[in-house]
Amino acid sequence: MDDVKKDGAVPAAAKSIDPAALEMLAHADECGIETAFSRADHMKPCPIGESGACCRICSMGPCRLVGKDAEEKTGICGADMSTIAARHFARQVAGGVAAHSDHGRDMAMTLRAVAKGEAAGYKVKDEQKLAAVAGYMGIATAGREVDEIALDVADKALEQFGQPHGEIIYTRRATAKRQALWRELGITPRAIDREVTEVLHRTHEGVDLDAGNILKSALRCSLADGWGGAMLSTDISDILFGTPSPLSSEVNLGVLKSDQVNVIVHGHEPTLSAMLVEASRDPELIAEAKAAGAEGINLAGICCTSNEILMRYGIPAAGNFLHQELAVLTGAVEAMVVDVQCIMQALGPLAQRFHTQLITTSPKAKIPGAVHVEFDERRAPETAREIVRMAIANYPNRGPIHIPDFHEPLVAGFSHEYLNYMQGGFHRGSFRPLNDAVIAGRVRGLAAVVGCNNVRVTQDEGIVEMIKRFIAEDVMVVVTGCAATAGAKAGYLSPEILDSAGPGLREVMEAIGIPPVLHLGSCVDNSRILTVLTQVATEGGLGEDIDDLPAVGLCPEWMCEKAIAIGTYFAASGAHVIFGVSSPVKASTEATRLMTEGWEQLVGGDLEFIPDWDQMFARSLELIDAKRAALKLPAHDPAQFGDSGDSPYFAAIKEYLAEQAAEQERGLETVGSAVYPLAEGHSHDHGAGHVHDHGDSPHGRDA
Ligand code: BF8
Ligand code: SF4
């Protein structure tokens, strides 16, 4: 993998493992159009900056510490390599926390507007989740109106950003042991904006000059994301749009339709895209699309906005981060609607070479070449309709199209509430069956495979390799973000994949009734993983805290600051975390030591960078097995279990998918259908005519 990358141009076949991407890259070459993949051939990473050895904090520099004795050198102010690397890393954490948390703030602002009756088209969709969140926040619910509670929740959420005193309230959702440890170390986050500001202050020229101390402030800052901004974002999205429960959909560029108006949503926030879901199903607009010569309106997603509306509405995913340009290259996208984060500026000039209308919607994120239609929650349904109409009007402008015929079925929509429900129902929800399976060794451990695509490594390869190898070794996998989309494109989020799971894992997944690879949502939904791990730790039998669990977190293809923030908050929460690609502190032996042994001693978790997939996987199993041994659990023995037949549950899913495929053959729209018959009150929304059997509610107990 990475050896191919060292000398510039990467052979075409090594750019991606996704056949749709390879087909589109060949098409781009034929058209003479550049993409991030081809630009990466001509833009090698700067080895000094890549390794953390460049400081550009002040204008006496930039100072670059290079050469054999680089670690003995200093910058002009005397800053040594460990300070320079740690400072840069901490600023990456602050950047990531700022991005996720500002997204969380916007969600809280929308909830506030809803509660005050000022947001047209939105409402509190999940009252049970609202009550649960009010409970975490100590807000009374008895005898109160939904909007009153929602207003208090929104205001409490907004307080978390700038409160002058106290601790971020959601840190109380961690285990008692973890809370005490954070306090003892002085890393309990106080307010979200304050932690970001403090890292920027400390890493200004001439302030904190001790790498260990700088990195400790990075830990505290990251916790303001994981147990602050991101967790609030997940919760408020669930309140407004529904807590996810499993549903089926499809993924990859083949979800674009040659005969329909294709609208792609791309970015991270679900607010406007949820309204676009409604608009794309509006009979009046569908009629207008037909009048323009199309068969209908097809909404699809890229990046985490995609995950948000996939998880709740079953809207298909056109791809992950590196698919954004490839989608435009199909020539079949009438409008690409972007909000914030992970949007390439290259989309501006690229869209102008096709008929695609690039539409920016956030005042925080404008792109040259795009039309700006600003999102305003007071008139969101009208904005969404306006955008869909722009797309319809653009349909006749289409030139030749090239849609690669690759699309995979997937099941998404696993919230921790649903996992509780699945393991015991509404009143008895728990993680007991999973904990017992880990204790017995049927499930060897748990792995979270999350994060981005990065052109410096073969697209999706590391993510898919890890998922494939983990489940074969009886390790249960949860996925989020672009990693979830990568896994889905390779077929690993389909129930069929149970056949690739090890015998112990297979038996347990059949018994519980969940697949071996669970899509938990977007990148802010990594907070769901913190909740799951905390609940597993408190369920009993696997120690007392996250650092006791046989679990690892992996981000094989990390790209941006948000990924760094996520990795750091998992480490600060006690998890062993491994990133691929390249270490941003590799130039400093001391910064590297501090983030591995140093953090392990402090918080029980750590952050390692291992670019080689084989070594990454071997290290993951080593960490999982070491935790099993420390808990005095039996060593994993795949021969001990096995030969389970298909449970009625999986037989039902397979039958369901077959039916769905048949219906699609007949031209019926079935994407987004519920996989399981669930109670009312669950999240996914398929419009009129969608009915459910009654049963237990998925909104079970919470950690
Ligand atoms: O927030 S995984 S490339 S889209 S940053 Fe961006 Fe990375 Fe994708 Fe989701 Ni997360
Ligand atoms: Fe150089 Fe120090 Fe300025 Fe950094 S802060 S650029 S190391 S002089």
Q: Which residue has the higher pLDDT, 159 or 13?
A: 159
| Per-residue pLDDT reduced to its tens digit, 124-134 | 999 999 999 99
Task: Give the ligand 2 atom nearest the CA of 83.
Answer: 7
Task: Give the ligand 2 atom nearest the CA of 76.
Answer: 8
Torsion of CA 530, 532, 538, 540, to 10 degrees: -140
Q: Give residues (CB < 6 A) around ligand 2.
A: 55-58, 60-63, 75-77, 79, 84, 205
Whole-number Å distance between alpha carbons of 233 and 230: 5
Q: Which residue out of 523, 525, 564 has the highest number of ligand 1 atoms within 8 Å of its CB and is therefore the one to mutate?
A: 523
| Per-residue pLDDT reduced to its tens digit, 424-479 | 765 666 788 899 999 999 999 999 999 999 999 999 999 999 999 999 999 999 99
Q: Which is nearest to 532 in space by CA: 550, 546, 521?
A: 546
Q: Give residues (CB < 6 A) around ligand 1.
A: 268, 303-304, 320-321, 342, 451-452, 481-482, 522-523, 559-560, 562-563
Q: Is 247 helix (H, G, I), strand (E, B) or coil?
A: strand
Task: Give the ligand 2 atom nearest the CA of 55.
Answer: 4
Torsion of CA 120, 126, 129, 130, to 10 degrees: 40
Confidence bin at 138 (pLDDT 50/70/90): very high
Residue 408 host element (H or E): strand 408-412
Query: Percentage of residues in the chain with pLDDT exceeding 90?
Result: 83
Atom 9 of ligand 1 has which residue's CA nearest to it?
Answer: 304
Tell me which of 373-382, 562-571, 672-681 is least confident.
672-681
pTM reported for the whole predicted model: 0.91
Task: Give the ligand 2 atom nearest the CA of 63.
Answer: 1
Q: How far is the CA of 36 from the centre of ligand 1 (A)?
A: 15
**Could you say which ligand is closest to the alpha carbon of residue 524?**
1
pLDDT of residue 654: 60
Residue 66 pLDDT greater than 80, yes or no: yes
Confidence bin at 647 (pLDDT 50/70/90): low
Q: How far is the CA of 63 from the centre of ligand 2 (A)?
A: 6
φ, ψ at 261 (rounded to 5°)? -75, 115
Confidence bin at 3 (pLDDT 50/70/90): very low
Q: What is the average per-residue pLDDT within 625-632?
A: 96
Whole-number Å distance between alpha carbons of 352 and 346: 10
| Per-residue pLDDT reduced to its tens digit, 524-580 | 999 999 999 999 999 999 999 999 999 999 999 999 999 999 999 999 999 999 999
Q: Which residue out of 92, 265, 560 has the highest number of ligand 1 atoms within 8 Å of its CB and is therefore the one to mutate?
A: 560
Q: Which is nearest to 407 in space by CA: 335, 459, 466, 485?
A: 485
Atom 6 of ligand 2 has which residue's CA nearest to it?
Answer: 61
Q: How far is the CA of 115 from the centre of ligand 1 (A)?
A: 30
φ, ψ at 633 (rounded to 5°)? -90, 155
Q: Mean pLDDT across the chain, nearest whole number? A: 90
pLDDT of residue 433: 87
Q: How far is the CA of 342 from the centre of ligand 1 (A)?
A: 6
Atom 1 of ligand 1 has which residue's CA nearest to it?
Answer: 523
Whole-number Å distance between alpha carbons of 175 and 159: 23
